[in-house]
Amino acid sequence: MGVKLMQQMANTYRAGHLRLATEKAIDVKRKYGGKDSKLTEAEQGVRFGIVEGAGHHLQNDLQWKDGAMKLLDFHERL
């Protein structure tokens, strides 16, 4: 899976999350943005990131700690 395909997948997931939030099917905590402001990246529920040198199964790669730190950073912003 190349970077372009992964970006497209992240955009698809983000659009689905925003649709569910708009339809009130899920509750999005407005931790950072105000009621009428644009949702922040964390509030959008999806972040795209690249871990250099890692493959699709990041948890099995030597760079797994880099990926874990990206995930932890995103989680802490939720």
pLDDT tier for residue 44 given thresholds of 50, 70 and 90: confident
Q: What is the residue-averaged pLDDT of the chain?
A: 82
Model pLDDT, residue 8: 95
- At 34, give phi and psi (nearest 5°): -80, 175
> Is residue 32 scored above 60 in pLDDT?
no
Q: What is the pLDDT of residues 52-71, one digit of tens each?
A: 888 778 888 899 999 999 98
Q: Where are the domains of the chain?
A: 3-77
pTM of the predicted model as reported, rounded to 2 decimal places: 0.70
Q: Rounded to whole angstroms, how far apart are CA atoms 78 and 65?
A: 20
Is residue 20 within 8 Å of residue 5, measured between CB atoms? Answer: no
Segments in 1-78 forming alpha helices (H): 3-22, 41-44, 64-77
- Of the candidates 4, 3, 7, the one whose C-alpha atom is nearest the C-alpha of residue 47 is 7
pLDDT over 80 (residue 40)? no
